[in-house]
Amino acid sequence: MRKINEISKRLGKELLKDKRTLAMILLAPILIMWLMSLVFSANTSTNVNVGTINVNNGIRTELSDVKNVKVNQYKNEKNAKNAMKNGKIDAFVSQKDNKLDVIYSNTDSSKTSLAKMGLQSSLTNSTLKNLSNKVETLANANQQMQIKTGATNNNLNVKNAPKQSALKISNHYVYGNSKTNYFNTLIPILMAFFVFLFVFLVSGMALLKERTSGTLDRLLATPVKRSEIILGYLQTYGLLSIIQTIIIVLVTVWLLNIQIVGSILSVIIVNVLVALVALTAGLLVSTLASSEFQMVQFIPVIVVPQIFFSGIIPFDSLPHWLNIASYILPLRYATDAQSAIVFNGKGLTDVWVDILILIIYAMVLTIINIVGLKRYRKV
C-alpha cells in the first residue's frame, strides 16, 4: 500500500507542475459545455422563404399568413431560379391555369417539409374562402329574388354557379427527391469535418513523435532552415493527406449514394484545402503539446467547436453574435463552399472567397509553424 501511495503522490506532483494539462482537464469541459448550451438553447424554429410567380392573390395571402413562411413575389421563373441559387429563397411556386408547379431547393429537408405544409394549408384555406364567398353570393342573389317575386325559397340555386377546377400541385426538386432526408443534407458538412479530424490527428501525432524521439532535435542541430523542415513535413504529409481526402470523398459518395449537382472534382479540391488547413493546424498543436496526452487534450478545444459551427446546426437558428463568431473557424468556409457545389451546382469561381480564405488559413498557420520551431533550436 505504501508503494501505491508513493506512486500516486509522484504522479500528483508531476500533474500539478504541468499547468497546461491541468488547464485542459479543468477548462476544456467547461468550454465545450458552454458552447453546447449556446448552440442547443438557440432558436430552433425553421424559417422558409418562398417565391411566387403569377400566383393568385388569395393563395399568396394565405401563404403569407403561415407562421415562419415569408413570401417573395417574382416576375418570371428566371429571377426566381437565380434567387434560389443565391440562397434567397428555399422554394418557388408558379401558377398555370389550375396547376401549381413548385420547385424546392431541398437542401434542408425540414424547410422543404414546412414549405409543403404551408402551401397545402394556404391552398385549402383559399379554396374554403372561395366556396364561402360563392355561397354568400348565391344566398344574397336568392334573397334579392325573394324580395322581387315575394316567393319563399330556402334552396340555393347552384346550377348556374360558375364551376372551378381544383388546383393541382406538382412538386419538383433541385437536389435529391421527395425521399431526401436530413442526413443527406449533412453529408457535405460531415465529409469536410472527418477530413479535418483525421488529417489533424495524423499530422499532429507525427511531428510530436519526431520531437519525443529526439529526431527533430538532431535535425534542428544541422544547418537546415526551419522553413525547410516545415515545408518538408508539409510535402510528405500533404501528399498523404491528399490521398486520404480523395479516398474519404469517393467512398462517401459511393457508399452513401450522394447526389452531387456540381463537379465532384470541385468537391475534392475544397476538401484538399481543408486537409491542408488541418495539416498545418496539427503541426502547430504538436509544437505546443509536450506529450501525446496533451495532444489528445487539444482535440476538444480545436476540433469540437468546428463541428458546432460548421452548419450542422442551421446558422439562421443561432444567435446573431454566435453566427458571426463562426466565421473565425475555417470549417465554416469549407462547408459553405462545399454545400454550394453539392446542392446548387456552383463552380470553384463561384466560391472563390471561401477558397481564398482557406488558402490564407493554411499559409498563416505555416508561417506560425516556422516561427514556432525557433523555440526548439538550441543555436
Q: At what angle do helices 182-212 and 292-302 cross, to 10 degrees?
A: 150
Q: For the chain, what is the radius of gyration of the CA atoms?
A: 30
Which pLDDT value is given to residue 24?
61
Q: Distances from the Cα of 201 to the Cαs of 104, 244, 288, 300, 359, in angstroms? A: 39, 13, 14, 12, 20
Beta bridge partners of 119: none
- Per the model's pLDDT, the better-predicted residue between 297 and 197 turns out to be 197
pLDDT average, residue stretch 21-35: 66
Domain segments of the chain as ranges: 48-173, 181-376
Please, what's the largest Cα pairwise distance for the chain? 117
In one-letter notation, the amino acid at residue 207 is L
- The answer for residues whose C-beta is within 8 angstroms of residue 181's C-beta and 6 or more apart is 109
Render pLDDT for 336-376 as a digit per residue (tens, 0 to 9). 999 889 888 888 999 999 999 999 999 999 898 888 777 66
Asked if residue 378 has pLDDT above 70, the reply is: no
pTM (2 d.p.): 0.73
**Alpha helices by DSSP H, the chain:** 2-17, 19-40, 57-64, 77-85, 109-149, 182-212, 215-220, 226-256, 264-288, 292-302, 304-308, 320-325, 330-344, 352-372
**Separation of alpha carbons 124 and 143, rounded Å:** 29
Which pLDDT value is given to residue 198?
85
For residue 58, the tally of other CB atoms under 10 A from its CB is: 16
Picking from 311, 277, 88, the residue whose alpha carbon sits closest to that of residue 187 is 311
**Separation of alpha carbons 134 and 50, rounded Å:** 29
The domain defined by 48-173 folds into abc type-2 transporter like fold (3.40.1710)
Which pLDDT value is given to residue 265?
92
Asked if residue 158 has pLDDT above 50, the reply is: no
Which pLDDT value is given to residue 250?
86
Render pLDDT for 46-74 as a digit per residue (tens, 0 to 9). 788 888 888 877 777 877 888 888 888 88
**DSSP helix, strand, coil percent of the chain (3-state; round to 5):** 70, 10, 25
